[in-house]
Structure 1
Amino acid sequence: MRGLGHVGQIGWEIEECEGSDLYDGVYPPKGTAYAASWPGVDVIGDQRVMIDAPSQLPEHLVAASAGRRLVLHAMHSVVDWLAFAVWEDGGLVRSLSLSPDSGIIENIGEPLPFELPYWAGDRPADIVPWPGEEEEPYALPFHPLDLGEDALRALCGFIQEGRPEPDDVGAETIELYGFHVWDPQGPDSAEQEAELRRVVAAMPSPRVYTLGPDGALVERDSL
């Protein structure tokens, strides 16, 4: 299938590809979107909407939700980043984006009910320090990924990690269609791959650590 745009720009090319499910398809590869539609519910998974400031979601996407609720939810476990937002009939009700490195990137609107225990200090982050390192306070009053799972359950009805509850949707049973999406005016895949190789080649050699006799991390080359 080829045709008009997606979550990006009108005129982008679309080609159908292998699909996924709601559990595995929440973080598609770059250039791929997973989507499905049922009466009253549309689902789209695409890295292009994983933006630091959810309130800056392109206007045409917000406009497409007129008369309905629009939810954006994004997490990245490597940097403990969470972002979510809710629009009602095109109007932004709540937006939150935060990570321990960047702090609170965006905080618009009143916290939603599932957030309240976190802001009240009832769900502090439980962080285990590296061996040999002193435990330091976590940079945020709670762990963003813990809040992210509760946000996912409250707003979308399923979770990615943690103990499922009886009312949770079985995300692995929800099939999504797959689409390759690209800008015909942008660099082709070969150019992107070549650029990636250039970046990797310019990186310094990896530093490998092991545990020393006292339990501290020691760079392997220095042993």
Structure 2
Amino acid sequence: MGAKTGLLVYADGAVPGLLRQVGAPDQRRTAELMRRLYPGGAIDQASGSNLRHGVYPPKGRAYAGSWPGVELVCDQQFMIDFPSRLPGELVAEAVGLHGFLVRDPNAPDLARQEAALKAAVAAMGPPRIYRLGPDGVLAERESL
């Protein structure tokens, strides 16, 4: 079973190490961060969460924390297929920061996964195409 995560982190260094060093977020810095990331949005302080439970907040809610050197925002709107489609405010905030490849440390090796996928595709025969007849019976077609 997977978990949904809408997490965006801006950091001046290695995120795990920085997050291990932080305490309670700075309320003023966090409010400023939210105003920059959601310009024109109605931003109200609400009850908080933690990283274990807050990485997929309900629609219309975002969790954030800001500390010197690291800022973190959790919001469902970050769950997109193409990072290039993030709103401009979110991308502009990242100018000059480092990017990170994030993957499950317990997941199989990426090269092994790719090799297994290629082997499975090679073992497959050509696609078969069917159509549903008026009598409800599937009939194989020769081509599209």
- TM-score bucket (shorter structure): 0.3 to 0.5
Greater radius of gyration (CA): 2
Q: Which has the higher contact order (CA 8 A, sep 6+)?
A: 2
Structure in which a larger fraction of residues adopt strand: 1
TM-score normalised by structure 1 residue count: 0.31
Q: Give the structure-2-normalised TM-score.
A: 0.46
Give the helix-richer structure, 1 or 2.
2
